[in-house]
Amino acid sequence: MKKSFILLLLLTLTGFTDIRAQSTEGDFAFMNSYRKKQGSARIQAMGGAQTALGGDISSIAGNPAGLGFFRSSTFGLTLNLGFKDTKTDYLSNRTSNSSVPFSFDQLGVVIAEPASPEIADQRDWRAHNFGISFQRLNDFNQTVEFSGLNSSSDILDFYAANAGGGNLYGDLAFRSYLIDNYQVFQDNVYTGNTTMRILPTVVPSENTPTRQNGSIERSGSSIQFSFAYGTNYMDKLFFGANLGVVTSSYEMITSYHEFFPEGELVEHFLDERYQLRGMGVNLGLGAIYKPNERVNLGFNLLTPTIMGFEEEFEAEINSYFENFTYVNGEEFTNNDNPSEKIVRVVPDDEQAGESRNVESAGANSDVYINNWTLYTPMRLNFGAAYFFSKQGFLTADLEWVNYKGIKIVSRDFSGEKENKINNEIDGIYQSVLNFRAGGEYRLQNFRFRAGYAYSGNPVRSSVNHPANQRTHDYSLGLGYRRRDWSVDLTSVFFDTRKLEDVPYALDNPNLLTPVASSKVKQWQLTLSANYYF
């Protein structure tokens, strides 16, 4: 069964679904607004700096003014092999996970129509070039695994605290015999009703800690298909424009397991699936100016990408028991307070004393669907390049990204809710300056390259958030060029990234909210090949 449902807080890169982890829509919006280092192996070897450069397939999705430099048609592709190591600390226990992801990052063709050398000097406009490309903007693939012994709390505390009021997890836990309703008596005087973990169940302690295991499998990517045009005015001014069609697909599969060392409840599982698919468009404008033969000055503007998303979410809880008999109206004594008696509430359609043996129980949620629109931030790039005749060049870019300009709108949200979401985004994120620089040295047919990339902190310094970090990435590359073809190989060494995942959040200060803190180390090999025709 499918229903339309507003998830108050979306699942994000900082945790499970927000209903448990207190995340915000803004976190996921940021994830779809962030762009990894892009471009061919040649461009990535120079830190990703490309605003003032031309003649590369990357110009189609980057600064389209670079298309005006092409003198021949070109076909190019880029492959990427990553090496990722994730170490996760959870309840004083460390878990490691390694992967070697492969991806097809770029494919493009430029159809060049330059003026022939015989008449080029007689024309002001000397090229009309067109390009089409496929470019991977971001990669969401990430696996996190964690395990530990918790002597302070377990997720049953969360279920009980959030029961009632239509809460999804409270409802699933109730139907899975993990929580129940009870009447409380003090000295045989009724004091009220409460919802708590199923009795009799062992409460976590130093002697009986709960074993907690979890895994989070994130997958998907965002891809841009670009259609670009670039022209050349007297070999001094280069102009270009592109249309980008962006598709995004993201899925997160989470599995959470608790094992109890004693008592009738042996173990239980929580499994969730979250999927998000979207499509949008953006426009790019660019220019490159050559004041002389040695200097290029570049500018590129990328408008916000307007994307429509559809999300789906579902959850399932399964529990397993040993020698457990469920009795309506059963009485229990509080061991910490012998004068307090707890009596299981008898449902209206059942009788006190009725019993049933329970070996296992489970409950599934509906598939919840929601639609919303994302406006990503605008980007401005300024670049410069200096050429040492035919021996090589140095280049640098400065990029401004207005992350606080991220905006979400939805017909499902009330005006108050929509304003709250966007005010939270404005309060967490900020505008940043990113810097990229690199160079190329030419020795006959060989090209030797190196680069550096700095990404500013997108989160305000006063906000405690896992994305609150600056990053420094370094790259080295080698290329070989012939008249009709070229090949480039680059290695990029990424700064350590941090992630936080919260399996459940508790408001009670006496109970521990566990956090899985991960550090991700990554480097990649990028291979590009071009054919000129």
Cα distance between residue 1 and residue 210, in whole Å: 34
Q: Give the length of the chain.
A: 533
pLDDT > 80? residue 120? no
Identify the three-state secondary structure at position 95.
strand
Tokens encoding 147: 């395990």
Residue 111, H or E segment: strand 102-111
163 Rama class: left (phi>0) / alpha (psi -120 to 50) / beta: beta
Tokens encoding 240: 């270009």
Tokens encoding 12: 């994000």
Q: Check the CA dihedral 242-245-251-252 and report its sign.
A: positive
> Minimal CA–CA distance to 97: which of 518, 525, 491?
518
Q: Are 163 and 169 in contact (CB under 8 A)?
A: no
What is the model's pLDDT at position 482? 96
Peptide bond into 209 cis (omega under 30): no
Q: Which residues contact 167 (CB under 8 A, 6 or more apart)?
A: 19
Over residues 332-360, the mean pLDDT reads: 89
Query: Looking at the whole model, is its pTM more than 0.75?
Result: yes
Which residue's entry shows tokens 């590369």? 56
What is the model's pLDDT at position 336? 78
Identify the three-state secondary structure at position 473.
strand
What is the model's pLDDT at position 28? 64
Residue 424, H or E segment: helix 415-428
Confidence band, pLDDT 50/70/90 cuts, at residue 24 = very low
What is the model's pLDDT at position 22? 36
> Tens digit of pLDDT for each residue in 274-309?
999 999 999 999 999 999 999 999 999 999 999 999
Over residues 400-420, the mean pLDDT reads: 84
pLDDT > 70? residue 1? no
HSE (side-chain half, CA atoms, 13 Å) at 492: 32
Strand locations in 198-327 (E): 210-233, 237-259, 265-292, 295-302, 306-321, 325-327
Across-strand partners of 478?
448, 489
Cα distance between residue 326 and residue 359, in whole Å: 10
> Tens digit of pLDDT for each residue in 302-325?
999 999 999 899 999 999 999 999
Cα distance between residue 254 and residue 107, in whole Å: 33
Cα distance between residue 164 and residue 365, in whole Å: 15
* 349 DSSP assignment: T
pLDDT > 80? residue 9? no
Cα distance between residue 132 and residue 128, in whole Å: 14
Over residues 390-398, the mean pLDDT reads: 96
What is the model's pLDDT at position 14? 29
Q: Check the CA dihedral 363-364-366-372 and report its sign.
A: positive
> Minimal CA–CA distance to 165: which of 52, 268, 10, 19?
19
Cα distance between residue 42 and residue 487, in whole Å: 9
> Tens digit of pLDDT for each residue in 69-114?
999 999 999 999 999 999 999 999 999 999 999 999 999 999 998 7
Q: Check the CA dihedral 60-64-66-71 and report its sign.
A: positive
